[in-house]
Structure 1
């Protein structure tokens, strides 16, 4: 009975159960990190809105309305459309233009949470490091839980969020930011793709042309955005009086002007994308039937007063100054062609042209995505669509990048490989190919010089016709007269072999004489019964070969 009731040694836990128990605190920490990232974004906007509400002399609602508005702005930062019910016409007006600068707030917080979650476990004290997929899922789950609560809370405010729009915009931003954070925490690996990716795709992606295409496309997009920023700054400076009048006419309270300034700064990246689309040609829409392009400003849009909108080009046909904006995509195309060529790699011209075309495609996809994110509705009817059309911007970008990028890439490739072609042309003019005997003799001579030893010259001169030198003939005494015996001629002496002496090395090959052992005659030794050792010839002293270098055979041109 005591054997049954006594407490014995506890059974060991199964490995999977132990790993799961150790892994649960780390997973819970990742979920909490994602929730805190969402909470920090909400808290930042809530503090900003509360400060503006307190400083406003005419608040429309209490602090509850300000907090509801902060939740709506947080959802708008993810691309979610808000609905404004208090309008003059009584028709609900959607607000779908997402300030791109505001998107950086949740994206950076989510990326930081994913990076910290991936780097939290170090394997010490029995803690198991979470895999990247577990960290990604846990952080995203915590973030989306707070996002769902914010969507429900914003529904009771003055600008609720569209549930269908929030259902896919918030997860999209969370997934992209979390993936970027996990990738950064793992050291930004660019290794093989997962096993579930098809084999053909994995083999194609590892080719160097895709890395060059990504670099070229990113360079072209940066040049386009830089040109768009330059156009926006020049337009605002050109219409400085109108911009100042619009800013001062909106409100006379410093808190209101501060809010307008913050909104203008948040929408400044949108204006940069609009400027890039304007330089590309498609321009941007300003409501129903109104479009601004370099060729002209058609339509009469009913735009609200806002400092950024005051810097739009004037209505009417385009001028030479507006058409000069075509230089921006031209420079971007040159940049794509320049960065599509690798410096120290010899490839065919077809490969270079294909890389430039892929770079143009990457640039077009980037600009199309930015155009889609920077546009949206600002109301109903006349303001139902504002901003560039994403598909038109993408098509124009691809055409502008492809036309100059391909010839520039081919020209740059030809210029960088010019020394190689000149060397091949000189070799062809000399008539020596890699398999000719002349080239082999030159390589053998270089190998002899690198070896640093006495190497006999393999090339022997052919015997020359004519009388031999007197020094090479043996002296024969004349036979006495009358003997009748003929005089035997002596063959000429063999000329000495030519040797190549390398003077860089000083080798003393003179054998050192070994003195014989003195024989002791006082005590003779009987050697009759001893075995006589066999006489072996002494091995010649061969100096080691040092400094030999094997020359690689050059591949013949295709």
Structure 2
């Protein structure tokens, strides 16, 4: 397939990704305009609001300036001054990332991943910039340079992930850029490449394991506290159209909540305003945003919350053992290489979870709501330390087990030809019924000599 065709297809899919995400934000806005305001309010304001929500979902900060009447109704310190909303509604970013993965896989299958990636990223940046410029208003102003960069970064990350998945399944692509990358990789020492791959597998796997357990925990909390959540919906009195808009907003915020739960399990926890903390050991809350989903927050520290701190350690240990079992030949590598793999796994897990924590945090409003979400550095440090401890223990445990297996595979009293057959990959040796050759004779290509005591040796 020609490169021009690949570029056009990637641009088309990137455009669809942007329009689908914008449409999800636009539907509840149009319902509010039609049902709640009776088509009387200016429709362009609702379009700008949908664009702001979509941009906010990709990490673009929104500078808000409320009028005097609205600021008085909010009743929070600093509401009458310009303030920033920066909590990314990561549901939109997840959607863009998923489209990017699809583009990356398709471009790699065609043999031109770089062309597809560049086309998708440039298209996303151009559309996001255009929408940001069209949504600018005195009441809410998106940061233009962030709108030009951050959605494209999310799309590029998805394309890169799709390319890596496709390469892992079917091998390297054939274009010039991937050929250069492959040649540079082949120039590195084999031990370093293998160790880096193992560290990435264990680290990313452990981080995703923490996120998966956090998702299960959030689901359980919603199921347990659903009466409180329903009561908050009823207390808001938003109606059907307003309730639908709030529900879609909560669905967009759900990835953030899952990451916050992961930060809770790692120990640092998260904040819902300045001076607040929600962690396994303690929960200190003040007034929180009026989202029904937050009705599932724990009222106090979990009685056995410290037990959750062992989860990333177990995930690191299990990941290192599973990866080592798939590569038993690495039991003979130097001890420092095993240690480096374990520590590198912790670093990778810390980077992944730290980046996710940083993406999920930000300002949710004026005053004390300027601090919402986990501390990225604390989350990264806790994840790196716990996963590294488990991965180092698991790597050395698998190493010891592999060494014992290699030793047991060749017993000390085994016939000499068993070593040769095993080394040549011809099975465990001769059958037990096959007679051993007499000393001084040779039934193979090797030369056998007799020493002064009549014992045979091979050269």
What's the TM-score, normalizing by structure 2? 0.77
CA distance in 2 between counterparts of 1:456 and 1:333 reads 51
Determine the structure 1 residue equivalent to 2:123: 142
Q: 1:84 aligns with which of 55, 64, 77?
A: 64
Taking only aligned residues, the RMSD between alpha carbons, in angstroms, comes to 3.9
Determine the structure 1 residue equivalent to 2:309: 326
Q: Encode CA deviations 1:495-546: one digit per residue, 9 max, x unaligned.
A: xxxxxxxxxxxxxxxxxxxxxxxxxxxxxxxxxxxxxxxxxxxxxxxxxxxx
Q: 1:94 aligns with which of 69, 72, 84?
A: 84
Distance change (3 Å), C-alpha of 1:66 and 1:202? farther
CA distance in 1 between counterparts of 2:127 and 2:182 reads 32
Determine the structure 1 residue equivalent to 2:287: 302
Q: 1:292 aligns with which of 278, 284, 289?
A: 278
Deviation at 1:150, TM superposition (A): 0.4
CA distance in 2 between counterparts of 1:313 and 1:178 reads 38
When Rg is computed on C-alpha atoms for both structures, the one with the higher figure is: 1
Q: 1:62 aligns with which of 42, 45, 48?
A: 42
Q: Encode CA deviations 1:481-503: one digit per residue, 9 max, x unaligned.
A: xxxxxxxxxxxxxxxxxxxxxxx
Deviation at 1:256, TM superposition (A): 1.4
Deviation at 1:389, TM superposition (A): 0.8
User: Per the alignment, in what secondary structure is the counterpart of residue 194 of structure 1?
Assistant: helix
Determine the structure 1 residue equivalent to 2:242: 256
CA distance in 1 between counterparts of 2:414 and 2:171 reads 49
Matched, 1:283 2:269: yes
Deviation at 1:237, TM superposition (A): 4.2
Deviation at 1:366, TM superposition (A): 1.0
Distance change (3 Å), C-alpha of 1:231 and 1:53? same
Q: 1:406 aligns with which of 392, 399, 417?
A: 392
Determine the structure 1 residue equivalent to 2:342: 356
User: Per the alignment, in what secondary structure is the counterpart of residue 103 of structure 1?
Assistant: helix
Q: How does 1:33-48 map to 2 (within 5 A)?
A: 34-48=14-28
Contact 1:39–1:146 (Cα < 8 Å) also in 2 = no
Deviation at 1:401, TM superposition (A): 1.3
Q: How many equivalent pairs are there?
A: 418
Q: 1:105 aligns with which of 72, 87, 95?
A: 95
Which structure would you say has the larger RCO, counting Cα contacts within 8 Å and 6 or more residues apart?
Answer: 2
Distance change (3 Å), C-alpha of 1:407 and 1:175? closer
CA distance in 1 between counterparts of 2:40 and 2:315 reads 48
Contact 1:274–1:284 (Cα < 8 Å) also in 2 = yes
CA distance in 2 between counterparts of 1:140 and 1:107 reads 11
Deviation at 1:418, TM superposition (A): 2.5
Matched, 1:335 2:321: no
Q: Relative to structure 2, which stretch is displaced further, 394-403 or 240-249?
A: 240-249
Determine the structure 1 residue equivalent to 2:199: 213
User: Per the alignment, in what secondary structure is the counterpart of residue 355 of structure 2?
Assistant: helix
CA distance in 1 between counterparts of 2:385 and 2:109 reads 44
Q: Which residues of structure 2 form unaligned runs of 5+? A: 72-78, 420-428, 447-459
Q: Which residues of structure 1 form unaligned runs of 5+? A: 1-21, 121-128, 437-444, 461-547, 552-558
CA distance in 2 between counterparts of 1:44 and 1:237 reads 26
1 or 2, which has the higher helix percentage?
A: 2
Distance change (3 Å), C-alpha of 1:358 and 1:118? closer
Distance change (3 Å), C-alpha of 1:275 and 1:168? same
Q: Encode CA deviations 1:291-312: one digit per residue, 9 max, x unaligned.
A: 22222124x4331222232222
Q: How does 1:149-548 map to 2 (within 5 A)?
A: 149-156=130-137, 159-181=140-162, 189=171, 194=180, 202-203=188-189, 207-298=193-284, 300-315=285-300, 318=301, 320-343=303-326, 344-345=328-329, 346-348=331-333, 349-424=335-410, 426-427=411-412, 430=413
What's the TM-score, normalizing by structure 1? 0.65
Deviation at 1:416, TM superposition (A): 3.9
User: Per the alignment, in what secondary structure is the counterpart of residue 213 of structure 2?
Assistant: helix
Determine the structure 1 residue equivalent to 2:454: none
